[in-house]
């Protein structure tokens, strides 16, 4: 639906009967609208450089479209009711939905862990999807998490993803 909206916006003409929609624009938006699905299906089975490159381009496009079309940033203060007194003044870090795969990999996770460790959190919580489901070496991709240690420890939620 987003791609259709982008296409209609790109080809809109306020003058009745005048269209700016060249056939190549329809083709490009049509291909882009299914690129991530095709790339994901290929990445489930293949790990060669061409599939990784196609997956990366499709994922970047999808992320860019999602960010530009839907994103908004809001700063929020979270107040936790019934927070134990022992946790007052402490800091926790949450790692969630990293989706390691052909786009985000071990080097991305190493940078993220380095930033988190630099903040010296008391606890690190790891939740959400760690992998994106593509064919990768999951142990190698997640290895940087071994350096993610809070003063009180780290918690990893084990799930299907």
Alpha-carbon separation of residue 116 from 68, 76, 121 (angstroms): 27, 19, 7
Smallest CA-to-CA distance from 80 within 67, 71, 89, 68 is with: 89
Best CA proximity match to 134, nearest among 104, 96, 112: 104
75: in domain: no
- Given a cut of 90, whether residue 102 has pLDDT beyond it is no
Shared domain for 89 and 26, answered yes or no, is no
Q: Distance (Å, rounded) from C-alpha 112 to C-alpha 109?
A: 5
Q: In terms of pTM, does the model score above 0.85?
A: no
Residue at 63 is within a domain: yes
Taking residues 77-97, report their average pLDDT.
81
Residues 99 and 145 in one domain: yes
Asked, for residue 33, whether it belongs to a domain, the answer is: yes
pLDDT at 119 over 80: yes
Range of the domain at 60: 2-70
pLDDT digits (tens, 9 = 90+) for 21-45: 567 777 877 788 888 889 989 998 9
């Amino acid at each position: 639906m987003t791609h259709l909206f982008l296409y209609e916006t790109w080809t809109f003409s306020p003058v009745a009967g005048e269209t700016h929609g060249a056939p190549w624009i329809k083709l490009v938006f049509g291909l882009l609208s299914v690129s991530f699905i095709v790339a994901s299906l290929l990445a489930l089975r293949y790990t060669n450089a061409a599939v990784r490159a196609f997956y990366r381009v499709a994922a970047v496009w999808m992320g860019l479209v999602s960010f530009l079309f839907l994103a908004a940033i809001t700063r929020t203060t979270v107040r936790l009711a019934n927070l134990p007194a022992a946790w007052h003044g402490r800091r926790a870090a949450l790692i969630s939905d990293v989706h390691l795969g052909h786009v985000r990999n071990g080097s991305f996770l190493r940078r993220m862990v380095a930033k988190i460790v630099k903040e010296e959190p008391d606890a690190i919580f790891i939740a959400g999807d760690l992998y994106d489901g593509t064919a990768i070496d999951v142990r190698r991709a997640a290895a940087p998490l071994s350096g993610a240690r809070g003063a009180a420890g780290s918690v990893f939620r084990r799930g299907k993803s």
